[in-house]
Amino acid sequence: MKLCSACLLGLACRYNGESVPHEKVLHLAEKEVLIPVCPEQMGGLPTPRPAVELKNGRAITIDGKDVTENFEAGARQVLEIARLYDIDTVILKQRSPSCGCGQVYDGTFSGGSVVSGNGITAKLLLENGIKVLTEEDL
């Protein structure tokens, strides 16, 4: 059993109200239980919602609002679910400001430029000893 970014499983939870179903993730879901989580929704943000990127460790919307508290609240809830089910591995959406692991969008909203770093949920999970994979690791 693993936790998985809900958008990769086809749930329409992204900022733009869409999903990004990933073939390998869906294939894995046929073989083992993948529990969908969306930390941004779980942190109280609506869908659709303004795009967010990380700037100096803060989650900032495209119109300049700081939503770091929502991102952190959602991250804590994902960690709680992982502990509840004794989960040691999660699969998260690469480059997202919440879920990205190893690289994230660079804070310029330029549509694809990335920098090294972890999303706020990925970071909290890693700090708590949980292995984070992305869809690109499958």
Closer CB to ligand SF4, 39 or 107, in the complex: 39
* Binding residues vs ligand SF4 (CB under 6 A): 5-7, 13-14, 38-40, 93, 96, 98-99
* Whole-number Å distance between alpha carbons of 6 and 36: 4
Q: Are strands 58-61 and 52-55 parallel, antiparallel or unpaired?
A: antiparallel
Q: Which amino acid is at 14?
A: R
Q: Minimum distance between the CB of residue 17 and ligand SF4, rounded to whole angstroms?
A: 10
Q: Minimum distance between the CB of residue 37 and ligand SF4, rounded to whole angstroms?
A: 7
What are phi and psi for residue 106, nearest 5 degrees? -85, 5
Q: Minimum distance between the CB of residue 30 and ligand SF4, rounded to whole angstroms?
A: 20
